[in-house]
Amino acid sequence: MKTIISIVGPTAIGKTAVALQIGNKFNTEVISADSRQFYKEMTIGTAKPSQKELQSIPHHFINSHSIQDILSAGDFEKEALKKINELFQQHDVLILVGGSGLFVNAVLEGLDDLPKAKEGVRESLNQTYKEKGLSFIQEKLKEIDPVYYTEVDISNPQRIIRAIEVFETTGIPFSHWRKNKKTERSFKTLSIGLEMDRALLYERINQRVDDMMDAGLLKEVETLYKSKHLPALQTVGYAELFDYIENKCNLEEAVSKIKQNSRRYAKRQMTWFKRNSTTVWFEPNKLPAIINYIENNL
């Protein structure tokens, strides 16, 4: 049976390095499920694999879209499954790697059948966000759906608005709509999670942000400032520097905020991925154990 090896875990833990080594071991290709690395204009702030890494193994869905496009989880599900079916003509094993839990789930399990929103609800919520800001809608989500609040990327206003929209349409929290039954797929999945001591992970996150700044993140953000209203750019690493450009804070404060929000995002990622009881967890430096687990379960 064809198999997808899914590699998940929080930001900065080393998913790319592990995926490359497994890819080389099994002579296969990588499907990226990182919802920020789709966009070709966002490079430094999304910690994309280097050109050398991208050339060592074929990668799909990195630099595949423009920030002018909105690639939803539903769109990604369709496009990724089509690509997976094509690649299974040449490979028995493929690798799916990324920290965007919703996009990973879209491929492996299918998406929830959410109700259609009432007319005008989305427009009203977008206006509320525009007038009252991100913190207001974050607090609203926390009040109506504390479960989803602990899991969602709360720096992403579109996902927050979608959850509130579902609640205002149905009166039922977004988290209650998640289905218990997976969509049947034609392939087998081996789910591997990467984890490490939280203090060490937070050190890695802080160092990564410093490295991004040294690599020219501020310049990248400045070139994208005119497009800051686009959903793809309303994310950690970009939003904080937009505030700096608008003189809402100094550069040191903006960098500190990126580190803080990245650490919070990592915590939410782990909350999301730990929900999957079939995921087997390893430290990223335990590659022989990971390889052994894969070989024993293919």
DSSP track, 14-38: -HHHHHHHHHHHHT--EEE--TTTT
Whether 66 maps to a domain, the answer reads: yes
| 88 confidence band (pLDDT: 50, 70, 90) | very high
Angstrom distance (rounded) from CA 114 to CA 122: 14
Q: Characterize 242-267 residue by residue with b for buried, 16 or more Cβ atoms within 10 angstroms of its Cβ, and e for exposed.
A: bebeeeeeeeeebbebbbbbbbebbb
Angstrom distance (rounded) from CA 219 to CA 22: 34
Considering the domain architecture, whether residues 54 and 161 belong to the same structural domain is answered as no
CATH label of the domain that carries residue 187: 3.40.50.300
CATH label of the domain that carries residue 132: 1.10.20.140
Task: Give the end-to-end CA distance of the chain in Å, rounded to a whole number.
Answer: 9
Considering the domain architecture, whether residues 54 and 127 belong to the same structural domain is answered as no
Of all residues in the chain, what percent carry a pLDDT higher than 90? 82
Whether 221 maps to a domain, the answer reads: no
DSSP helix/strand/coil, 189: strand
Whether 243 maps to a domain, the answer reads: no
Considering the domain architecture, whether residues 85 and 130 belong to the same structural domain is answered as no
Displacement of CA 47 from its chain's centroid (Å): 12
Average pLDDT over residues 73-95: 97
pLDDT at residue 286, rounded to an integer: 97
What are the beta bridge partners of residue 281?
A: 193
Q: Where is average pLDDT lowest: 61-70, 105-114, 244-253?
A: 105-114
Angstrom distance (rounded) from CA 75 to CA 227: 22
Angstrom distance (rounded) from CA 290 to CA 281: 9
Q: Which domain holds residue 135?
A: 121-177
Helix (H) or strand (E) holding 282: strand 280-282
| 288 confidence band (pLDDT: 50, 70, 90) | very high
Considering the domain architecture, whether residues 76 and 34 belong to the same structural domain is answered as yes
Considering the domain architecture, whether residues 164 and 186 belong to the same structural domain is answered as no
pLDDT at residue 181, rounded to an integer: 65
Angstrom distance (rounded) from CA 264 to CA 251: 20
Whether 150 maps to a domain, the answer reads: yes
> What is the total count of domains within the chain?
2
Whether 79 maps to a domain, the answer reads: yes
Planar angle of CA 101, 38, 214, nearest 5 degrees: 95
Considering the domain architecture, whether residues 167 and 292 belong to the same structural domain is answered as no
| 151 confidence band (pLDDT: 50, 70, 90) | confident
Average pLDDT over residues 265-271: 95
Whether 49 maps to a domain, the answer reads: yes
| 183 confidence band (pLDDT: 50, 70, 90) | confident
Residue 1 pLDDT greater than 90, yes or no:
no
Whether 263 maps to a domain, the answer reads: no
Residue 156 pLDDT greater than 80, yes or no:
yes
pLDDT at residue 290, rounded to an integer: 98
| 116 confidence band (pLDDT: 50, 70, 90) | confident
Considering the domain architecture, whether residues 14 and 70 belong to the same structural domain is answered as yes
* Residue at 261: amino acid letter: N
Sign of CA dihedral 207, 212, 66, 52: negative
Radius of gyration of the chain (CA): 19
pLDDT at residue 130, rounded to an integer: 87
Whether 202 maps to a domain, the answer reads: yes
Cα–Cα nearest to 71, from 46, 35, 117: 35
Considering the domain architecture, whether residues 27 and 90 belong to the same structural domain is answered as yes
Q: Where is average pLDDT lowest: 90-104, 112-126, 139-153, 204-218?
A: 112-126
- Mean pLDDT in the chain? 94
Cα–Cα nearest to 234, from 164, 153, 165, 167: 153
Residues 6 or more apart whose Cβ sits within 8 Å of residue 95: 4, 5, 6, 7, 19, 22, 23, 26, 28, 29, 30, 31
Considering the domain architecture, whether residues 53 and 195 belong to the same structural domain is answered as yes
Considering the domain architecture, whether residues 90 and 166 belong to the same structural domain is answered as no
Angstrom distance (rounded) from CA 266 to CA 49: 19
| 180 confidence band (pLDDT: 50, 70, 90) | low
Residues in the chain: 298
Considering the domain architecture, whether residues 16 and 158 belong to the same structural domain is answered as no
Q: Where is average pLDDT lowest: 114-128, 185-199, 220-234, 243-257?
A: 114-128
Average pLDDT over residues 40-67: 96
Average pLDDT over residues 127-135: 90
Considering the domain architecture, whether residues 150 and 210 belong to the same structural domain is answered as no
DSSP helix/strand/coil, 57: coil
Last-in-domain residue among 159, 177, 195: 177
Name the burial class of residue 230, with classes exposed (0-12), middle (13-18) and buried (19+) by CB atoms within 10 angstroms of its CB: middle
